[in-house]
Amino acid sequence: MRLDKFICESTTLTRSLAKKALHRGDITCDGEVIKNSSFKVTDKHTICLDGQQLSVIGPRFIMLNKPVDTICSTIDEQYPSVLGLLDVPKTDELHIAGRLDVDTTGLVLITSDGQWSHKITSPKKECGKRYLVQLADPIDNALIDTFAQGVALRSEEGLTKPAVLEIIDSHQARLTITEGKYHQVKRMFAAVGNKVVGLHRESIGEIELDNDLTPGQWRYLTTKEIKSI
């Protein structure tokens, strides 16, 4: 890899700023100042910027506990983006794998790996997402079978894919779906005459939201969690 590219992929510097750092003599390779931007970096080299060793920022996989009044967007809009909660470099290279509404809380997965996130968001992959749902009205036990068979949503052809409903109490349930239609959980309950007043995502696939992550906190996924998708 060219040295100027290595610097860009290891820091937040642009190619222009990387070349300026090289010109100033801020970059060393194995202790020697290197000013040639086309110098070829290998795995055996130790590259430093102002004495701090650099390494290429590889693919990133992050778990975030999304708080209310934030949006799953790459930029701030009417509400702040969840990416602003991350203290990591190069957030412009990250995207959200499976979005949540502004008033929905819970597990959000953020990554720089497009193929990995596709496995989560593609309907063909049928990656399960489990939600804790608070309802305005009592939940009818008959909905367990209704949701298992699929629900007709307004302005949608056909039925939703089979979903698993677990009733916790009269106004609270867990719902696992394998699709990601617009406002799907809210629309499914609206279709059967109930209203969602609280929604929290607990898991995606085999990845469970950490109980000790308070709203707004995050951590990197483990290797096991990454491979589970």
Residue numbers annotated as active site: 101
The answer to whether the beta carbons of residues 112 and 220 sit under 8 Å apart is no
First to last CA, the chain: 30
Q: Which residues of 126-153 are buried (b: 16+ CB within 10 A; e: fewer)?
A: ebebbbbbebeeebeeebbeebeeebeb
Residue 21 belongs to what H/E stretch? helix 15-24
Beta carbons within 10 angstroms of residue 11's beta carbon: 18
The rounded distance, in Å, linking the Cα atoms of 95 and 90 is 11
Element (DSSP H or E) covering residue 109: strand 105-111
